[in-house]
Amino acid sequence: LCRRVSPTYMRAIGSATASCTAVGSYFKIRSCCFQSSVVVRPPSRASHSHRRRLSTTVMSASQSQSLSSSSAEAYARLSQLRPSFQQTMLRIKNPTASLKFYTEVMGMTHVDTYDFNDMGFSLYFLQSFDEGAKPALEPGSVDAHKHLWSTQGTVLELTHNHEDSGEVYHAGNEEGDGFGHIAFNCDDVYASCKRLEEQGVTFKKKPDEGRMKGLAFAYDPDGYWVEIVPRSDKSEIKQEFNLSQTMMRIKDPARSLPFYRDGMGMTLVRESHYPEANFSNYFLATLPPGTPPPTHDPQDRDASKGYVGALHGPVLELTHNHGTENDPDFKHKNGNEQGKRGFGHIGFLVDDVDEACAAIEAAGGELAKRPEGGKMQGLAFALDPDGYMVEIVKRGGYGDAFQPYK
């Protein structure tokens, strides 16, 4: 949605362009549970005329390239491990301010905490629950760990690095950035934004501003964009807000859609194309067990918008700026580059981490951290087709303490 707020916003959040600055060959990432060296291949600068010529491409999900038989088989094996979208990670500077914003203002529940004092960071996990469904959990307890690593929902992971290096985390939405925003749904965007403003929240865009009325972008304490989106009339959610979306930009839907749909078991629930603005959106969801798949055509605007607007769990919004798939040098920044760190990764629960990693590699994917590597064995980080970090964690954790690592 935020690609269409105004021409200024559209340019600010990254049109189909490959111009950005090299950030060095190697850097260190402090992510959820590991540090690793990752190679950065800075994209070269494509000519403006070349970008305009490429920008007419529209890719329907039904036009996704055919997978090789080996990749299709590997993705089928991966999907049998019941992957479920479990987390989105953002780095934060001040836990007190961020926890207050997401719990007291946005109505989330602080469900769990991990303190890794020896490695100098803490993790805070928050989740949206509807009225009457909030569990009684003490963050840091065994019960909290059990809930966290077996939830059928999706949590927001806030990572705090204890040492204040003076680094200002990058909120994304500058040229070349991949991560865009998270979002919350509500019944009345105007009324909810009025209450947010009364609580001191500032805005990138208020609901009555710009060409797209009725949606807004607020700032969280670290400057991340938080989209405020209306629910559909099919929604039965009673809570004022529910975490509803993580948006990432992708280079090529023909590669990204099979990874998340065929491999990670997500369902394509909405697909929107805007050829006049040169971008498309693909919304994918992990449907809870027993939920029948949608019967509507994902390109049916009204039916798909109504379906997505009634979901309680977040969707993954993949935004494709047309033409990037034809530029061999184009690459989005994934949020872990030096000077651009902010968003860190998304994460999935699976039944078996080793088998999931084997299937990802068999499909031609790469691993940033293998299950047997690092201090925390038993969890892994894969790279999706755009190089975004995807954490792979065992459903239920390990042992009686329900830890995500052995």
What's the token pair of residue 65?
């390239």
Residue 285 contacts residue 266 (beta carbons within 8 Å): yes
User: Residue 109: which of 242, 218, 198 has the closest Cα?
Assistant: 242
Could you write out the DSSP letters of every residue in 297-352? Answer: -TT-HHHHHHHHTT-SSPEEEEEEETTGGG-TT---B-S-STT--BEEEEEEEES-
Tell me the catalytic residues.
227
Angle of CA points 13, 18, 19, to nearest 5°:
85
Q: What is residue 139's DSSP assignment?
A: T
Which residue is it, tokens 């929604």?
Answer: 235
- Residue-wise pLDDT tens digits, 237-291: 999 999 999 999 999 999 999 999 999 999 999 999 999 999 999 999 999 888 8
On the question of pLDDT at 5 being above 80, the answer is no
Tokens of 33: 């549970």
What's the predicted TM-score (pTM) here? 0.87
d(CA 248, CA 306): 22
Summarised one tens digit per residue, pLDDT across range 132-162 is 899 999 999 999 999 999 999 999 999 999 9
Q: Is 145 helix (H, G, I), strand (E, B) or coil?
A: helix
Chain-wide mean pLDDT for the chain?
87
DSSP code of residue 122:
E
R_g (Cα) of the chain, nearest Å: 20
Number of H helices, E strands in the chain: 9, 18
Contact, 282 vs 271, CB < 8 A? yes
